[in-house]
Chains A and B, each alone.
Chain A
Amino acid sequence: MKSCHYSCGSQEHLLARRNFLGGLAGGAGAAMLGGLGSLVHPATAAELVRDQKRMLVVRMAGGLSQLESWDPKPGTSTGGPFRAIPTSVPGIHLSELLPHTAKQMHHLALLRGINTHESDHGKGNHKMLTGRKRMEGVSWPEIGAVVAKGLDEGELTLPGHVKISPGGTGGRSSDSAYLGPKYASMSIGGDKPLANSARPSDLKENAAARRDEFRCMLNDRFALRRRTAETDAYTQSFEQAEELVKRREVFDLSKESEKDRERYGAHDFGRHCLLARRLLENGISFVQVTHSNYDTHNENFNFHFEQLGEFDKPFATLVADIAARGMLDSTLIVVLTEFGRTPNINKYYGRDHWGKAWSICIGGAKVARGAVFGKTNEKGTEVTEGEVDAGHLFHTYLSALGIRSTKSFEIGGRKVPMADPAFGPIGEILT
C-alpha cells in the first residue's frame, strides 16, 4: 500500500530524524511541532539507533505497600506479619511475598527514600507519571509520551506509547499533552486481537489501495496550502493506524508459544507481561502494564498476599527474559505506584495512604545493577538518607535511557523543559 508522499519523504520528515540524532539543533527543526532539538547526547545517538532503547513501567495501582515489597521491616511494630528474604544480591532483602523477584535482584535496583509529599490517588499518580505537581489548567505529558518522543528516531510508525490493562480496547488517550496525539498512549487489553485492526472482508485489497491513493492525493494537495499541526496530527494518526493494521500480529498474544504462556501464568497480569515482552521486542518504545489493586485500607496483608502472589512470578519471568535476550542494557524497567502505605497498621489490618517514605524498584538500561539508594528509619516512618521526589525520578528515567532530561521541547516556538528543572537525575543510581 502506498503511503502519502509528504509524510514518507518530505524534507520535514528527514529533518526530524536528523534533529533527533543531534545533527541539527534549532533551525528548520525547531519550527516543527514539538521539534526535538538536541535532546540526546551526540555520543549516544548511534547507540540509541543500534540498541533501540525502551522503557517498561509496571504500575501498581492503588498504592503498593513498601513494607510488603521493597522495604520490609520485619519484627517491628509497623512491620506486619511478613518476613524478609534474601535476594540474589547479598545484603538486600525483600518481602517474602516476592520470592521470584528476589532471584532477579541482580538485574534490578531499589530507591527506598521516596518522599512525594502526596497521599491523594489522582495527584500521586499525576506526580509519579509526569514528574510534576498537578496544577489547574496545566497539562504535562506522562513519562510514556516523553519517552516515546525522546526515543522517536523519526521512523516511529507503530504507536510508541502503549498501556496494557484489563479491558483495554485500542483507544487513544490524551496523556501526551502538548506532545500531540502521535505520542498519546494506546490502551490495549491483550486478551483478544486489536479491535477493528483487520481490513473488512468485503473491502478488496486493490480497492483499499485505490482508496488510499485517493486519500493521499487529497491530503497532499491540501497540505500544500493549508498544512497545520492538526493536519499533521491527523496524518500521523492515520499512518500509525495503517502500520498497526499491517503489523497487527505484534499485538497478537496467540503468536507466543504455549510454553511461554504457561511460564507467565494464565491470568490477566501474566498475559500482560508476556504481551509487554512481545511489544518491547518489536520496537515499541514504552510499554506500561497496570496491576490492580493495592489500595488496601482493609486487610492489607491478605490482599497483598493475593496481589503480589499474582505479580511476582510473571514480573520476575519478564525481567529474566529481558536479560536473557540481551535487552537489559537497552530496556529501563520501573515498578512504580502512586504512593506507599502507612507504616501504622489500622484497626482493619489495613494500611492507608503514605507519600512520605516509600520505595520503587528500577532496573536495566543505565541503572546500576543490584544497587540500593535511600533509606528509611527502623519503623519506615521517615526517610533518613537519600530522599528523592517524583521530579528526581522523572529525570532519572530519562537519563537512564540516554535522553538529556535537562533539555527542552520546542513547543510552538517556546521552550518547555522535558522534566521539572527544579530537580535532576539521581546520579548515585546511574552508571
Chain B
Amino acid sequence: MKSDPKQAHLAREFKHDAPLINCRFDPTGKFVVATAEDRAVVRWNLEAESGEKLIFPKAHDSWARGIAFSKDGGTLITSGYDDTLIWWPVAAAKPEPIRKVKAHAGWIRTISVSPDGELLASAGNDRVVKLWKTADGTLVRQMEGHERDVYSTYFHPDGQWLLSGDLKGKVHQWEVATGKLVQTFDGKALNTYNGGQQVDYGGVRGIDLSADKKHLACAGLHKATNPLGAVSQPLFLRFEWETRKLIRSHVTEGVEGIGWGAIFHPEGYLIGCAGGKSGAFLLFWNAEEDKAFHKFKLPGTAREFDLHPDGIRVATAHFEKKLTITKLVAKAEEKKGEPGAA
C-alpha cells in the first residue's frame, strides 16, 4: 500500500503507568516495544485486538534508552542508563534476560544492529563507540574520537560503515572492519553553547540514510535561546552522502522543541518527529525544499518514534504514559477487521 502522509491519522493507543522514553517496531512488524521512566521494557502485540501488553521483568537499574532487534526479530536488545546491555527473547510469554553485559562507563544512549545482524553498536556518555557480537555479546572493537557524549548511532545499509553523532553535532563515519575513523559530517548547527546559562545543548538525536543511499539526515535542534527553559526549534539536516556537503536545513515553522529522530520513508520523503512547547508533530519533507510539505499534530508530547516495516504505521512514545500508532494513509484505505482500525 502506498503511503500518503497528508492523510495521516491516529489509529491506536496503548497505555502504560509511566511516561514513555523510546519505542521500536520489531523487524517482523508483529510487536512494538517501548521503554519507560519506571525502568520498564513494555511489549505490545500489534496483531492482537487488545494489544496484549506485556511488561518485561525489570532488569535495568535505571531507565532504558536504547532498543534494537536481531535481524530475524527473535532477540530484543535494550540498553540502559545503568551502563548495561540486556538481551531478551522478544516473543516469550515470560521473557527473562538472556544476557547482561556491563558495556560502558556511563549512560548508553544509543544502540544499533548491523544490516547483516552480526554486530551491535553502542555508545553514550563515555564517548566511546563499541561494537559487540550480537550472537554472544563479545566485544569486537571500540572506537574513540568523540569529544562529547554520543547521542546516536546508525549502520550504513552496506554494512561497511557505522555513523555516530555527538552533542557537538559531529557525525563520525567509522570503518566497521577496522574501527578506523574515515571522515566526519559537520552538523555543528545542531549544537548551541549558551554562554549566559553556561550549558551545551543539542546534539545529533537521530541519523538515517535515504533508500537510494544518497542523502544522510540528522535530527536535533537549533535556535536554543533558552536551553534550560526548553526554548529551541527542531532542525533536520540533510547531507549529500558522497560529498558530505550540507544540502538542506529542514525547518519546522510553528514547531518548537527538539527533533527527536529522522527516518527516510522507502518512498523517498523524510519523516521527522519533533516536539516541545508547541506540542508534538510528525513532519514530512521532500528533498527539494527546506520547508515541510506536511505536518501532523500528535496528542501530548512525543519523545521518540519509529516507522513500521509496512511503511504505513508510525509509533510514537509519549510523556503522557502512552504509545500511539499513526497511519500514513486515508482512513478508508485501512483493511477492514485490522486490529485497532480507526
Contacts and interface: CB of A to CB of B under 8 A. Distances in A.
User: Does B bind A?
Assistant: yes
Interface of A: 62, 74-75, 77, 80-83, 166, 268, 292-293, 295-299, 303, 305-307, 345, 347-348, 350
A305 B125 contact: yes
B39 A345 contact: no
Given A83-B62, A297-B229, A75 B199 contact: no
Interface in B33-61: 37-39, 61
B181 interface: no
B228 A297 contact: yes
B319 interface: yes
A292 B229 CA distance: 14
Contacts of A293: 197-199, 228
Given A75-B39, A77-B38, A297-B229, A83 B61 contact: yes
A77 B228 contact: no
Contacts of A348: 230, 257, 276, 301
B198 A292 contact: yes
Interface string B208-230: 00000000000000000001111
Given A82-B62, A348-B301, 11 more contacts: A77-B37, A83-B62, A293-B199, A293-B228, A297-B230, A298-B227, A298-B229, A303-B228, A305-B107, A305-B125, A350-B230
A351 to B, nearest CB: 11
Interface string B53-86: 0000000011100000000000000000110000
Given A293-B199, A307-B199, A345-B19, A62 B82 contact: no
20 contacts: A62-B228, A81-B81, A82-B62, A82-B81, A268-B198, A293-B198, A293-B228, A297-B228, A297-B229, A298-B227, A298-B230, A299-B201, A307-B199, A345-B37, A347-B300, A347-B320, A348-B230, A348-B257, A348-B276, A350-B230
A347 to B, nearest CB: 4
Given A75-B39, A77-B18, A82-B62, A303 B199 contact: yes
B116 to A, nearest CB: 32
B13 interface: no
B200 interface: yes
A296 B62 CA distance: 20
Contacts of A345: 19, 37
A321 B149 CA distance: 30
B63 A81 contact: yes
Contacts of B301: 347-348
A307 B257 CA distance: 21
Which of under 10, 10 to 19, 20 to 34, or 35 or more describes the interface residues of B?
20 to 34
A347 B319 contact: yes
Find the residue from A83, A166, A296, A348 having the highest chain B CB count within 10 A: A348
Given A292-B197, A293-B197, A306-B199, A298 B39 contact: no
A297 to B, nearest CB: 5
A80 B107 CA distance: 13
Contacts of B39: 75
Contacts of B199: 293, 303, 306-307
A74 B58 CA distance: 14
Nearest to B106: A305
Contacts of A83: 61-62, 82
Contacts of A295: 197, 228-229
Nearest to A62: B228
Nearest to A291: B198
B132 to A, nearest CB: 22
Contact of B198 (A80, A82, A166): A166
B324 to A, nearest CB: 15
B198 to A, nearest CB: 5
Closest 6 CB pairs of A and B: A298-B230, A347-B319, A81-B63, A81-B81, A347-B301, A348-B230
A306 B200 contact: yes
Interface string B1-25: 0000000000000000011000000
A80 B36 CA distance: 11
A293 B197 CA distance: 6
Contacts of A74: 61-62
A293 B63 CA distance: 24
Interface in B251-277: 257, 276
A92 B338 CA distance: 55
Contacts of B227: 298-299, 303
Contacts of A77: 18, 37-38
Contacts of B197: 292-293, 295
Contacts of B300: 347
A82 B37 CA distance: 11
Contacts of B228: 62, 293, 295-298, 303
Contacts of B82: 83
B165 to A, nearest CB: 15
A81 B62 contact: yes
